[in-house]
Structures are given as structure tokens and as C-alpha cells.
Amino acid sequence: MDSPKKLQDIKVAVDAVVFGYFDKKDLQILLIKRNIGPFKGGWALPGGLVLDDENLDDAVKRELYEEAGIKPDFLEQLYTFGNVGRDPRNRVVSIAYLGLVNPSYYELFADSDAEDAQWFSINTLPELAFDHQTIIETALKRLRTKIQYQPVGFNLLHDEFAFSELEHLYTTIIGREIDRRNFRKKIMSYGLLNETDNVKKEGSGRPGKLFTFNQEKYKELEEQGFYFEIK
């Protein structure tokens, strides 16, 4: 005899792991301080429930703007988290997103369900609400893999940047030293950078040329298919 059917009562949420990068510092993650329970006063990823008439992408963009005041240029679905008990209030399935921004382009402001919004180094994160530590670890693993074949790191830099800043960013994300000569040779061989007439003075050395990211060249390479391996 078949067992009686149970009614489904599952809510759908979105959460965003937004990475940021300040010049020559650690990789950062955007967190908000919750002003509602559960975990009131605790730190968490920006996010919330999806409205009945709302698409997922629209929901995560709305939550990011309401809770922190940012609109990432790069935002993509990461993974779905739906373990039973991940939210003490209800059965909630969360679609997590991975975002990349240059924090210097935004002034954070908290609203909606957030009391505060701040950038935290990935190396000194506070205790997090729900399963958000797991979500962040999943996002960091995705970013470290993705940056090997898609130069998404440019989303974290200024429009103009020194090559040393690009090297430091990649070293920071990957979490290890890279072969600097091979890295520069590979980047330049793909034609992904446009050299400008502007320079930047760093330390006691000679001023270095500033570059911009060649988006048209990247789109062309992406259509052809290429693997940007970093050693």
C-alpha cells in the first residue's frame, strides 16, 4: 500500500558570495549583519527569499542592492544548497550566486534586513549564520578554478591597472606563488591587455605602465575556446 502523500512546503531563497579586492590586500567577501532572527546580530551573506513574481537573477540583484547597495558587473549562479535543517525557521532551498566587484566603486549602505554591510578578508571571517561558511568555501573553490580558464579577475581591478597589481591579484586568489615570467608571457600573448600612456609609481622602482582589459579580444577568444592555465 502506498504511503500517504505529504504536502510540499519549501521556500526558495538566493544568497550571494560577492568577492572584492583592494589594491595589494587580501581577497575580500561582502557580509551583512542581520537585524532579524534567527542569528540576529550575526554576520551572513546578503540574500533572502525569492518573491512569487520574481526571477532568480532579479531576486539576488534586488537583495544585494537592498542590503548592501551594490550592483556587481559579474554575477553567476554557483550552486544549490538545500540540506534539511539549514534554516531553523522553514525548509529553505537556496540558490547561491558568485559575484565580483571592485569595492572602491561602491559605498556600502545597509537597508532591508541588514543592520550593517562590510568587507571582510577571506582569512579573517567572523562566525557566520546558517551554512554560509560552506557556501563561501564552495564559491572560493569555484573562483580558483574559474580564474584558470576565464580571466574574471579583471572584474576586481580598476579600469586601469599596473601589471604588478594583476599578478598580485591572481596570487591572492589562487593562494600560492605563480611563475611571474610565464604569467606575463601568457597574458600578453593572448592580447588581453591594452597598454595606455599612463604610468604609476610603485615603491623606489621606475614608474610602470598602466593597462586596460581588452574585452573585445576576450570575447573573441571565448568564442574560439581557450584555457588560461596558470603555473
Top CATH class of 10-146 equals: alpha beta
User: What per-residue confidence (pLDDT) applies to 230?
Assistant: 74
User: What per-residue confidence (pLDDT) applies to 186?
Assistant: 87
Domain locations in the chain? 10-146, 152-224
Return the CATH number of 152-224, one of 1.25.10.10, 1.10.10.10, 3.30.300.130, 3.40.30.10.
1.10.10.10
Phi-psi region of 130 (alpha: psi -120 to 50; beta: other; left: phi over 0): left
3-class state of residue 135 by DSSP: helix
**Of 230, 216, 97, 105, nearest in space to 166 by CA:** 230
- Would 10-146 and 152-224 be classified into the same CATH topology? no
pTM over 0.75: yes
Q: What is the largest CA-CA distance in the chain?
A: 81
pLDDT tens-digit profile, the chain (231 residues):
566 677 788 999 999 999 999 877 889 999 999 999 999 999 999 999 999 999 999 999 999 999 999 999 899 999 999 999 999 999 999 999 999 999 989 999 998 889 999 999 999 999 999 999 999 999 999 999 888 777 788 889 999 999 999 999 999 998 888 888 888 998 899 899 999 999 987 666 678 899 999 989 888 887 887 777 777
Which three cell numbers, joined as nine digits, stand for 183?
Answer: 604569467
pLDDT digits (tens, 9 = 90+) for 2-55: 666 777 889 999 999 999 998 778 899 999 999 999 999 999 999 999 999 999
> To 10 degrees, the CA torsion angle through 45, 49, 51, 54?
40
In the chain the beta strands, taken as DSSP E runs, fall at 10-21, 27-34, 43-44, 47-49, 74-81, 91-101, 114-121, 161-162, 193-200, 208-213
User: What per-residue confidence (pLDDT) applies to 51?
Assistant: 97
Q: How many residues does the chain have?
A: 231
- What is the CB neighbour count within 10 angstroms for residue 100? 22
